[in-house]
Structure 1
Amino acid sequence: MATWNSRGLRGSTLEEFINHTNTRYSEMGLALIQKIPTPITPVRIDKEHRHITLAYFDKISTVDYIGAVQGIPVCFDAKECNADTFPLQNVHEHQIRFMEKFEQQGGIAFLLIYYTAREELYYMQYRQIRRFWDRAEAGGRKSFRLDELEPDWFMKLQNGFFIPYLDSIQKDLDTRD
């Protein structure tokens, strides 16, 4: 079993933004998206601070979020990156397989990548992450560079914390055959 050791607030900023956005979308009746908890079993707990300091994963998780947008099944994973190069090791094979099967069932799968140093968000369609994944599997780069991304898929935070990913989902739908 894999062991998990807390690294503090890693990824929490993006997760907070997404959770707030999902709450607003739900309140507006536009979408119902839920955070999928990672199944873990605690091994060591800091009782004074009430934190899990060591745990192991019960089973392989899928993606961070799943739900529906106006009747369309949606799943996505949230990733943060501090550099202009995104290592593909941050996306796991079981996540790629899950997103592939999700799309085969008529859903929309994507990544939300937050480039923290630039404070930029990117909506990466499943087919785009798959292209980078396949390149790596064929012996190519095990990462992708910011300059390889399609500029039209960058998003701006609204009001400093709201992620307008429904606009990107619509654009994603519009570009499908």
Structure 2
Amino acid sequence: MAYWQTRGLRGSTLEELINYTNEKYRDKGLGLIQKIPTPIKPIKIDQKSRHISLAYFEQKSTVDYIGVVQGISICFDAKETTKELLPLCNIHEHQMMFMEDFEKQGGIAFILVYFSKYNEYYYLPYTFIKDYWDKAKLGGRKSIPYKDMNPQYQIATKDGVYLHFLEQLQYYLSTLDE
């Protein structure tokens, strides 16, 4: 049983930045992207303040965000690491399965990762992640190293949008035509 009280609010700053970015995209008519809440079952509720102080996840989540950008369906998850690598154990099998199924339906799946050690954000296409995932299953490395990040996928602040990841999405789409 996974208790959200014990997991803290990992990645909450990253998610706040993404939520802000998604609001900007909506305001500018660029896309509509929604945070997908993870269903929880409250265990302890402070009767006075009505705040949940202890709960467990009712079911496995899919990914953090789903939406549409200029007619393209997207789904993605947000990950943060303090290390020089992104541990694959931070990406769950049910998330990989969801992203695979999403892409089979014609959507685009990816992960936005924050390497806090370098204060850098990257767009990681599902196909890039899957390559590492498959190799790990065969006994290969169990992480994606920072040194393997494609500079074309580094996310910058632009036009008042803090994590302007649509440029990386556009770049990725252009590589599919090759």
The TM-score normalised by the length of structure 1 is 0.92
The alignment partner of 2:176 has SS state of coil
Partner of 1:173: 173
The offset of 1:113, in angstroms, is 0.1
Encode CA deviations 1:108-140: one digit per residue, 9 max, x unaligned.
000000111211001000000000100111111
Q: Which amino acid counterpart does residue 122 of structure 2 have in structure 1? A: Y
Structure 1 match to 2:87: 87
Which residue does 1:71 correspond to in 2?
A: 71
In 2: Cα distance, 1:92 partner to 1:168 partner = 23
2:99 counterpart residue number: 99
Q: 1:130 to 1:151 in 2, by over 3 A?
A: same
Quote the RMSD (CA, aligned, Å): 1.9
Question: Do residues 12 (structure 1) and 9 (structure 2) align?
Answer: no
SS in 2 for 1:175: helix
Q: Please give the per-residue CA displacement for 1:60-102, whole angstroms capped at 9, x wherever unaligned.
A: 1100000100111000000111111211110000000000010
Per the TM alignment, residue 154 of structure 1 is displaced from its structure 2 partner at its CA by: 1.1
1:22 — aligned with what? 22
Q: Distance in 1 between matches of 2:109 and 2:49?
A: 37
* Runs of 4+ displaced beyond 6 Å: none
- Is 1:131 the counterpart of 2:131? The answer is yes
Deviation at residue 145 of structure 1 after TM alignment: 1.1
> How far is the alpha carbon of 1:5 from its aligned partner?
2.4
- Distance, in Å, in 2 between the alignment partners of 1:8 and 1:18 is 19
How far is 1:56 from its partner? 1.3
CA distance in 1, matches of 2:169, 2:127: 13
Q: Deviation of residue 160 (structure 1)?
A: 8.7
In structure 1, runs of 5+ residues without a counterpart are none
Whole-angstrom CA distance in 2 between matches of 1:11 and 1:143:
18
* Cα distance in 1 for residues equivalent to 2:16 and 2:101: 27
Structure 1: distance between partners of 2:86 and 2:47: 36
**Following the alignment from structure 1 to structure 2, what is the Cα–Cα distance between the partners of residues 70 and 159?**
18
Separation in 2, partners of 1:46, 1:7: 19
Percent of aligned positions with the same letter in both sequences? 54
User: Paired residue for 2:112?
Assistant: 112
TM-score, with length taken from structure 2: 0.91
